[in-house]
Chains A and B, each alone.
Chain A
Amino acid sequence: MLALILVAALTVGTLTLASRLQLLDDLLVLIGVSLVAGLAVLAVHPDLEWVAAPPADEGSCVADAPIEPPSVDRVSVDEAVALLGQPEVTFVDARLGYHYAAAHIPGAMSIPADDAEGLLDMQSLPIPPEGQVITYCDGAACEQSEYLGALLRERDVCQQVRVLDGGWQAWVAAEAPTVSGDSRYGDAPSSSLMEAAG
């Protein structure tokens, strides 16, 4: 950033005073038109208001989002730790692949929320429909696990879906077990969805 500012300053420094003033004038015109047009958009767009509604829940970044995902029940870290290793319980990591590769809950399946719809369109998940699913993403303010949980229910993959309260950050803070490595698509026998897809 400093290098760019230096280059820009040097380049601007080669301009005559008139050119500098003209450049400043042009800049103000562009910014001014953008502001006026933006305010016009705010005035006429039905989904936007001058002041966005504050979050209903402190720490939740999308609590007031117009596209609200269906609510999914929560499960505490302590309860989730107790369920770890039980065959009917599947942990699903909704974070991006490289976060999963860095570290994840043992046996968790990686289904990045960004790719989830496409993956579900391609094939069914190796999750027993009568089992339980616990989704998690980065932290309490992360909506990816909520979205993924709702999607799994909507697609009838599994109805008993819960979101890990506090997400990955709470799991790590509780010093619950984690594994790392690039077995991105799951280190449990049933968690090879993306491997199969790939």
Chain B
Amino acid sequence: MSASNETTPTPKWMLAAGWAGRLIASSVFIYAAVIKILDPAAFAEDIANYQAFPHWTWNLAAAVVPIAELLGALAVLTGFKRRAGTLVLGSLTLAFIGLILSVIVRGIDLNCGCFGEAAEASAVGWPLLLRDLGLLVAIGAAYLPPERRDA
């Protein structure tokens, strides 16, 4: 709880897990973000299909979310504002998980829009939920190592 705790050397396992988490989370989110940025109208339609948001948020979310994904992923990958980046990606992933659960509970049949038109990888259901939970673990691992300025 004090500054002295942060001066202890970071365990190697934490550094290794942190790097693995950074690479996994950033690559997934950069890929997802670029596809959505290239076709925001299609992503807006995907958001509408969730039947969970008022219509005035569809285009706004379609424009903002992919950019947040991209910036968060770049922060995680480069290490510049890394922890803030992991918090952004973690929040988005938690939101996705909540949406997936709501879709499963409501029995709606749709694609998540996570990766644009790559439908086979994007059908909303339990496999997608597991994938996002795995992604959340990677993001958590990316968060753990202290940032250099903390040392």
Interface of A toward B, CB cutoff 8 Å: 1, 4, 7-8, 11, 13-16, 19, 22-23, 26-27, 29-31, 33-35, 37-39, 41-42, 45, 47-55, 61-62, 64-67, 94-96, 98-99, 112, 114-115, 137-139, 141-144, 169
B136 in complex: contacting residue of A4, A11, A19, A143, CB < 8 Å: A4
Contact flag A48-B84 (CB < 8 Å), given A14-B1, A65-B45, A114-B119:
no
Asked whether B116 is an interface residue with its Cβ less than 8 Å from the other chain, the reply is no
Interface of B toward A, CB cutoff 8 Å: 1-3, 5-6, 37, 40-42, 44-45, 48-51, 55-60, 62-65, 67-68, 71-72, 75, 81, 83-85, 87-88, 90, 94, 97-98, 107-111, 119-120, 123, 125, 136, 140, 143-144, 147, 149-150
| Residues in B whose Cβ lies below 8 Å from that of A143 | 49
B83 in complex: contacting residue of A23, A65, A99, A114, CB < 8 Å: A23
Contact flag A7-B140 (CB < 8 Å), given A16-B3, A22-B149:
yes
- A53 vs B59: C-alpha distance when bound (angstroms): 9
Q: Is the CB of B123 within 8 A of A30?
A: no
Q: Is the CB of A38 within 8 A of B108?
A: no
Q: Is the CB of B40 within 8 A of A48?
A: yes
Closest CB in chain B relative to A139 CB, distance in Å: 8
| Residues in A whose Cβ lies below 8 Å from that of B144 | 11
B6 in complex: contacting residue of A16, A35, A62, CB < 8 Å: A16
Closest CB in chain B relative to A65 CB, distance in Å: 5
B125 in complex: contacting residue of A4, A66, A96, CB < 8 Å: A96
A-B contact pairs, 19 of them (CB 8 A): A1-B97, A4-B140, A13-B1, A26-B75, A27-B84, A27-B87, A30-B71, A33-B67, A34-B67, A38-B63, A48-B44, A48-B59, A50-B60, A51-B56, A52-B55, A52-B57, A61-B51, A67-B42, A112-B123
| Residues in A whose Cβ lies below 8 Å from that of B42 | 67
Q: Is the CB of A61 within 8 A of B71?
A: no
- A186 vs B57: C-alpha distance when bound (angstroms): 40
Q: Is the CB of A65 within 8 A of B48?
A: yes
